[in-house]
Structure 1
Amino acid sequence: MARRKSAEPQVNLIDAFTEFSRNKNIDRATLMGVLEEVFRTMIRKEYGSDENFEIIVNVDKGDIQGFREREVVEDFELEDEMRQIPLSEALTIDPDYEVGDDLAEEINFFSFGRKIVQTAKQTLTQKIRDLEKAATIAQYEDMVGTVIIGEIYQVWRNEILVSHEGTELVLPKGEQIPKDRFRKGDTIRAVITDVQTKNGNPRIIISRAAPLFLEKLFEQEVPEIHDGLINIRGIVREPGERAKVAVESYDDRVDPVGACVGMKGSRIHGIVRELRNENIDVISFTTNDQLYIQRALSPAKITRIDINEGDRAAEVFLNPDQISLAIGKNGLNIKLASKLCNYQIDVYRETDGEEEDIDLDQFTDEIDQWILEEFNRIGCDTAKDVLELSMEELVRRTDLDVETLENVLAVLNAEFEEDEGDA
């Protein structure tokens, strides 16, 4: 079938699409399909139909050609101008045409009306945007769980916008470490946790507070985890404050805790710095619940544990000097241990049947440190030292007001009443 070429220049848009497809990983078939559909839409608007038209997308040459195919008929037999061309007209194109031949005449897209061309341009622009959004979503869905390094370009009150390879990522306030302080232009490391769509646009969520971020940092710093010799069985975090990581080894020759910490803490120090000096406890996982709880409450030393497996509850008994260690600052140690072991853990003071005295240092979770220091100043180091003094004597010897002293005495008395109840 002979083809008649137009002398007019063709619409050269493929270059932009080819570059776009390379940047956004859009496959060749999708690219060609989009272009063909756009130009077929132009043809339908101009001619009413595209049934006998052929579109050729030449990615290598960087152009698009359209051909209108018609059958050569005798002049007096012309019935359908869309699909037929009279012989007299065909002979002006090529004197070798005969009745029954198929003639393919190249279309000059520039001859189309301005409105049609403008509509096509808008359609192409929208197709580019849609393809870009779809490609971005597909790319980052495959990257969920991956740690990225990006550059901060906008710091807002409730979120930080991060640029990663030309794509905008979002770090919400709730996914930041409370101690994080970033400014525009800073480099940031975070893990991709979710890919959403908001108002038709991709919204890629990253996090520094998620346990997954800590897990991925361990994978990067500890080759044995990356290689599968050590498995992370559980992670709980209070971002920027404390974390507990349970690990186990599939090789008896590899100490999972030692491998994660590294020689003189070499491996874990980098993770701690990245997490704004978050205190990380690495423990060895075990299926023995009692031993697991004991390890989770480290560094406190436990004397005994009573477990109710049905209620997932554990009563932990410790010597008085270990209580504060088990509870931890602001109750974080026991809170994280409970989450890690999936047990409701309650701590109790172990007694030998006689009423024991308690060092004031054990009350740091309930009484402010400066108040305890005031008692130490007047020679009161234990709870009984304070309780043996009258209110008048305490007021006279300390700089504390009556209300503060009453609150302190209530806390100290409650401790001894609890011991009597346990007995």
Structure 2
Amino acid sequence: MENLALIDSFSEFKDDKQIDRVTLMAILEDVFRNALKKKYGSDDNFDIIVNPDKGDLEIWRNRIVVADGEVEDPNEEISLSAAQKIEPDFEIGEDVSEEVKLIDLGRRSILALRQNLISKIHEHDNTIIYKQFKDLEGEIYTAEVHHIRHRAVILLDDEGNEIILPKEKQIPSDFFRKGDNVRGIIESVDLKGNKPTIIMSRAAPVFLEKLFEQEIPEVFDGLITVKKVVRIPGEKAKVAVDSYDDRIDPVGACVGMKGSRIHGIVRELGNENIDVINYTSNLTLYITRALSPAKVTSVKIDEVKKRAEVILRPEEVSKAIGRGGHNIRLAGQLTGYEIDVLREGAEEDVELSEFSDEIEGWIIQEFHKIGLDTAKSILEHDINDLVKRTDLEEETIRDVINILKEEFEE
């Protein structure tokens, strides 16, 4: 009972951990073997008998009987007179098994055993948690806001596991209070030291893809396939969908009557504007659809350079580019092509890159960001509008306009 009482004292915290009795006893055996090595130099001649049903274990030391005065290794050998105190019939050369009580290890060793056991159990728990969440990578998970830091929100799930939602993986409009339930995808799980670090994301494209699976039955059932998702979190997203069943309208099924099906997803993403388009292997048609809601007149494709030159009526250009250049940027990401927008009748227009000797490259890039890459595309815009849409000073924009005007005056 001595051993049993001590083991119970070691495992009194077991009920707070997700660990079964058999695993606990295996960890106990490992811990005790380490303690025996420290005390006796080796554990090779020790038998540890585990009884998980009773939650008990026994430790037996095996030694060979040698003549009195010839003991060279007291851990593996025992003198005849000492052996006969255990059992009078023992003779030289026989094996003696003697039970070792935990109390014999000494108070200091027992305290060390306890600390080692706690450490091993924590390590075991962390391994279990790591494996559990590793299997959930890329899946939607819900947890509760525990506390809010400057750079991250710390969440706890029902089992008390800590999940980190970094600021850069939140939607810009996200606002959380302690106790709020938060949905996101488990983006990554890593072991740092022995502790698992679980990162959640609400900004990743796969979060939107998984919301489609969760909210739209045809996607969940595999009748509709989400081919690709691109996002500017909280602003705009484009989702290409396809169906192998001609009777199913994939866009209609995803959007629902008057947007009823997609409304919940939009709300979850902070009113992110979601364009759902029909996927097609016809590249010209795919690029045309990707630029929705703009109506494209014609598309010229350079498959080698992965560029597409798109002609639109002047009134459609701003729709193709979108607010802040979001629409054209996402269309490019969705199709994998760099898209150049040209206006009908703009044959005499000049690429902005042609002015690189007069206009600095970083200024040209600022215009490219909002989809303006020709001289006339800039000249058609009001200066105040250009100041609002770019990070350029009004004086810089006026200088650029004067340079561009000179080109056409000549």
Per the normalisation by structure 2, the TM-score is: 0.79
1:196 aligns with 2:190: yes
Contact 1:233-1:246 at 8 Å conserved across structures: yes
Q: Which stretch shifts more, 323-332 or 123-132?
A: 123-132
**Which structure is larger by alpha-carbon Rg, 1 or 2?**
1
**Alpha-carbon distance between aligned partners in 2 of 1:48 and 1:410, rounded to the nearest angstrom:** 82
**Alpha-carbon distance between aligned partners in 2 of 1:197 and 1:327, rounded to the nearest angstrom:** 43
Contact 1:367-1:408 at 8 Å conserved across structures: no
The answer for the alignment partner of 2:270 in structure 1 is 276
The answer for the alignment partner of 1:386 in structure 2 is none
Contact 1:17-1:31 at 8 Å conserved across structures: no
Contact 2:172-2:234 at 8 Å conserved across structures: yes
Shift of 1:121: 2.3
The answer for the alignment partner of 1:162 in structure 2 is 155
Q: Which stretch shifts more, 130-139 or 69-78?
A: 69-78
CA gap of 1:119–1:251, structure 2 versus 1, over 3 A, is same
The answer for the alignment partner of 2:320 in structure 1 is 326
CA gap of 1:276–1:27, structure 2 versus 1, over 3 A, is farther
CA gap of 1:101–1:7, structure 2 versus 1, over 3 A, is farther
What residue ranges of structure 1 are gaps of 5+ in the alignment? Answer: 372-402
Q: Deviations 1:168-198 (Å, cap 9, x if unpaired)?
A: 1111111110000112221100101111244
CA gap of 1:352–1:332, structure 2 versus 1, over 3 A, is closer
| Identity score, percent | 48
Contact 1:10-1:65 at 8 Å conserved across structures: no
What residue ranges of structure 2 are gaps of 5+ in the alignment? Answer: 348-375
1:12 aligns with 2:8: yes
CA gap of 1:81–1:61, structure 2 versus 1, over 3 A, is same
SS of 1:35 mapped into structure 2: helix
**Alpha-carbon distance between aligned partners in 2 of 1:306 and 1:88, rounded to the nearest angstrom:** 102
**Alpha-carbon distance between aligned partners in 1 of 2:3 and 2:206, rounded to the nearest angstrom:** 62
Q: Which stretch shifts more, 38-47 or 344-353?
A: 344-353
SS of 1:12 mapped into structure 2: helix
CA gap of 1:319–1:405, structure 2 versus 1, over 3 A, is farther
1:106 aligns with 2:99: yes
The answer for the alignment partner of 1:244 in structure 2 is 238
1:345 aligns with 2:358: no
Q: Deviations 1:309-349 (Å, cap 9, x if unpaired)?
A: 21111121112221221111111111111111111112222
**Alpha-carbon distance between aligned partners in 1 of 2:36 and 2:346, rounded to the nearest angstrom:** 95
The answer for the alignment partner of 1:395 in structure 2 is none
1:291 aligns with 2:291: no
Shift of 1:70: 3.2
SS of 1:218 mapped into structure 2: helix
- How many residue pairs match? The answer is 375
1:153 aligns with 2:146: yes
CA gap of 1:9–1:69, structure 2 versus 1, over 3 A, is farther
Give the AA of the match of 1:341: T
Aligned alpha-carbon RMSD (Å) = 3.8
Contact 1:10-1:64 at 8 Å conserved across structures: no
1:116 aligns with 2:112: no
The answer for the alignment partner of 1:178 in structure 2 is 172
CA gap of 1:8–1:71, structure 2 versus 1, over 3 A, is farther
Contact 1:6-1:107 at 8 Å conserved across structures: no
Shift of 1:83: 3.6
**Alpha-carbon distance between aligned partners in 2 of 1:139 and 1:7, rounded to the nearest angstrom:** 34
